[in-house]
Structure formats: structure tokens, C-alpha cells
Chains A and B, each alone.
Chain A
């Protein structure tokens, strides 16, 4: 099993550009989440989904959009990149409420 796969691994954007971070899981997990990791701040939840067609905001949703059309995929869209969005982004999936989350390898994004 591949688990949780994130693409790309690295990305450099110019301010104002848009892009989509891809996340796919092959474990048939209902729950999927996006986090950003910044030094000294741990991981902060951006958006999450409890199933196909259902998404909700996390702690830091501004500037990001998500959709969940299939169980497997949960892309994260940056609408107009800003330097404050320079971070490492992690996608995670889990079988359900309060269960272990499985993480992807991360996408390191730099906005210049």
C-alpha cells in the first residue's frame, strides 16, 4: 500500500499565483485533513473532511480551498499565494473519529 501520497514534494510560487496541492490515499479512509507546519507552532489544521462531499474549516482556513469529490482524493487549493503561506503542508487520513491519523511525506512550499 502506498498510504497517503502528496504531490509535489517541493514547490516555489510567486506571490499571487495559484496552485493545487494533491493528496491521495489508498486505505479507503473516510476522514482526511490538511495541516501546515511552521517552526515553533506545531501542526495547525487548515481544512478537513469526514467523507466525500463533506468539508469543513479548521483553525487556519483563510486563503485555502478544498473539495472532496471522491473518498481517495483531497486536494488543497491556494487561490492567490502569499509569502505567509510559505510552510510545509501535510495531508493525513484516518478511519474515523478519534483514530490514528496517517500522514503523507509533506509538500514544502515557498512563496516569493
Chain B
């Protein structure tokens, strides 16, 4: 079975500050990991994904995440927050025989203060 835990349902940062959204996963098979962003009243958009290979993954809008197998983590970071980053962020895992199924975390709402 697979599961995802996102630490912190709400994170608030100041504009220009570091963004760190935490994601830990559990998987009995090699995981495929994803971060999605959801802006108000919209669907989910892929930020970045880890499949195999390089453990530091770069995504859109200046976000990146590092896959750490020993820590079962896939934390999302951005060096400098922008007001437009305010949204809800979801970490998800798939793998093995899960097919097209994604297992999502609970989500983290990011607020950016001016």
C-alpha cells in the first residue's frame, strides 16, 4: 500500500522568503512522486515529478523538489516566494501495479504576505 503525508495544512511566508512544503511518503515499491498546484476554483496542474534518475527535480515557476529515499521524503522548495504562488499544493505518489492511480496527501495551503 502507498500513502502520503503532508506536514502542515497551512503555511504562511512573506514575499521573497523561502518556501518549504513538506511531503513524506510510504511505498513498498519504487515510488513515482508528483507535486501539483491548485489555484482557487481551478483544476490541478503538475509542478514537477520524480520518476527515476536525478533526485533533484526542477519544475515550473521556480519550484524544485528533492527525492530522499532514506528519509522517504519529497519536499517542495522555492528560494523566493511571490504573491502569485499563493495556492494549494498537493503531493502524490504512484508506483508498482497502481496503474494510473495517484495517492494524494491532504494538501498544504500556501499564503504569501506582502
Binding site for B on A (CB under 8 A): 4, 30-33, 35, 40-45, 48, 50, 58, 90, 92, 94, 96-101, 103-106
Contacts and interface: CB of A to CB of B under 8 A. Distances in A.
Interface string B47-67: 001010000000000000000
A44 B103 CA distance: 7
B42 interface: yes
Contacts of B46: 100-101
B44 interface: yes
Contacts of B92: 43
Nearest to B103: A45
Given A90-B43, A106-B41, 15 more contacts: A31-B99, A33-B100, A35-B104, A40-B9, A40-B106, A42-B90, A42-B107, A43-B104, A45-B103, A48-B100, A97-B100, A99-B100, A101-B34, A101-B100, A106-B42
A99 B46 CA distance: 11
A32 B100 CA distance: 7
B101 A45 contact: yes
A33 to B, nearest CB: 6
8 contacts: A41-B106, A42-B6, A43-B104, A45-B102, A90-B44, A98-B98, A99-B100, A104-B43
Interface string B20-51: 00000000000010101000011111100101
B49 A33 contact: no
Contacts of A90: 43-44
Contacts of A104: 43
